[in-house]
Amino acid sequence: MLSSVLRGRRAAQVNVAIMRTYVRLREILATHKDLARKVEEHDRQISVLFDAVRKLLAPPDPPKKHPIGFVPSED
């Protein structure tokens, strides 16, 4: 994305190379269905991995605090 924001000959060349790579990759995946399935499966696995990492990085829930003192029962 940075190559499309920057101005300059080199940035334009990099942007064109990236677009051509994506087009070529899409063509390869369209012609090789088994490869497309493998890539799709890896995408799912990577998604599961990222979800697990997000859960590990999330701050823990604060512990439940019990009130101090006498609490009458609700009978």
CB atoms within 10 A of CB 9: 7
What was the pLDDT predicted at 49? 94
Q: Is the pLDDT of residue 46 over 90?
A: yes
Residues 35, 28 contacting (CB under 8 angstroms): yes
What was the pLDDT predicted at 48? 94
**What's the pTM?**
0.44
Q: Is the pLDDT of residue 50 over 90?
A: yes
- Beta carbons within 8 Å of 12's beta carbon, 6+ residues apart: 3
Diameter of the chain measured on Cα atoms: 79
What was the pLDDT predicted at 35? 81
* Model confidence pLDDT, tens digit, residues 59-71: 888 888 887 888 7
